[in-house]
Chain A
Amino acid sequence: KAGVTQTPRYLIKTRGQQVTLSCSPISGHRSVSWYQQTPGQGLQFLFEYFSETQRNKGNFPGRFSGRQFSNSRSEMNVSTLELGDSALYLCASSFRDRDTGELFFGEGSRLTVL
């Protein structure tokens, strides 16, 4: 069974640009969550989607947005990039709504903002 797939794995952007990251969950999983990991702030929850609906949102500015498609694939977008957005962005999937933590993570998309 294929795991959670995130693309691209690495990318470099400049300040002011926008970026879209993609996440394909494990087949059959309907919940997708996104986390940001930085050396300074650690792992922080961004948002969670289930059946195309955002169920939870973390404390991030409106520049961070996401969506989920009918096939459960999810994208997150960051607009007007700032240097502080450089991070590893991790996507996680689970089968059920509110699986409460038994998540399967991808290897992440490492974003560098110059």
Chain B
Amino acid sequence: AQKVTQAQTEISVVEKEDVTLDCVYETRDTTYYLFWYKQPPSGELVFLIRRNSFDEQNEISGRYSWNFQKSTSSFNFTITASQVVDSAVYFCALAILTGGGNKLTFGTGTQLKVEL
């Protein structure tokens, strides 16, 4: 069975601070995908990134960056120079490739509050 752990329930930062959201996953499959989704107050989940298990290269997209380390089964997400608009719940998720399709296993989410 798959499991995703987001140990940080809530994080509060002041605008312009950098913040890292942690994600640890468990799976026995060797082929899988990891994701981050953002859920603003409106409710819809917004796709941020997908990373497959064979690609450990870190990725940067604007103020967002992701650090994937198979050795520690972690896929952490860093927001640089946070802004108030970044306030949301962030979910890490896992999908196995074999028969997994679009069945995602989500973590419990991290509520990020960015204050002025």
Contacts and interface: CB of A to CB of B under 8 A. Distances in A.
Contacts, number: 78
A72 interface: no
A45 B44 contact: no
Contacts of B35: 101
A114 to B, nearest CB: 21
Contacts of A58: 103
B57 interface: no
A4 B43 CA distance: 12
A38 to B, nearest CB: 11
In terms of DSSP, what is the predominant structure of the interface of chain A?
A: strand
Nearest to A104: B47
B105 interface: yes
Contacts of A50: 101
A103 to B, nearest CB: 6
Given A102-B50, A105-B46, A55 B101 contact: yes
B106 A100 contact: no
Interface stretch (A14-22, A61-69, A77-85, A86-94): A86-94
Interface residues of B, number: 25
Contacts of A43: 91, 93, 104, 106, 109
B77 to A, nearest CB: 15
B102 A92 contact: yes
B102 A94 contact: yes
Interface in B39-76: 42-47, 50
Contacts of B44: 3-4, 90, 105-108
Interface of A: 3-4, 31, 33, 35, 42-45, 48, 50, 55-56, 58, 88, 90, 92, 94, 97-108, 110
17 contacts: A3-B44, A48-B101, A50-B101, A56-B102, A56-B103, A90-B43, A92-B45, A100-B97, A100-B100, A100-B101, A101-B35, A101-B102, A103-B45, A103-B104, A105-B44, A105-B46, A110-B43
Interface of B: 33, 35, 37, 42-47, 50, 91, 93, 95, 97, 99-109
